[in-house]
Structure 1
Amino acid sequence: MGDLGYRGERLAKAGAALGIAIQPIARGRNGVCIPTEIAWVVERSFGWTARYRRLNVIVERTTTHLIAFIEIAFVSILSRRLRRLIAQDSSA
């Protein structure tokens, strides 16, 4: 599920190829609402990757390189979060 920014034939074809059903919904209209938790997770992830300047403008030659840099960004994010959790556990 996603807001109306996730509609389009190209995205629908990509989702179908991956076995993902894409469902664009206008929030709060006609009694249909996207659960806040789902939309928040996606937007939060986009916000986290926005802090990496290399990912703000796509200049990679291949999609493989772009995917690798996205994976590196998330490994960095998750390793910092784990380090904070370990520090909290050891101080408690």
Structure 2
Amino acid sequence: NRKPSSHEQENAELTHVMMSIYEKVERTFGYRQLTLHMRRQTGKTINQKRVYRLMKIQGIQSVIRRKKKRDARSTPQQVAENVLNRKFTADAPNE
């Protein structure tokens, strides 16, 4: 029968702001990006741990995108001639 505290009311406001941003960016932001955008929008100092906790309470999480392949297999443009052909000898070090 108690009234919600000021902290709980502030959490409810932050949750509303968080959900609007989260839906606007199509669920791609995690707690770090959400924190940055919430700070800009509200003008308040908001801790990342608080946003993370509110996200867990709401049951939301970011979409984890697949990593892009960076290694593109291709044939070399120019192949150098194998001059040594593994037939070399050294009588002393650094020769």
TM-score, normalised via structure 1 length: 0.34
Provide TM-score, normalisation by structure 2: 0.33
Between 1 and 2, higher relative CO (CA 8 Å, sep ≥ 6) is seen in 2
Point out the structure with the larger helix share. Answer: 1
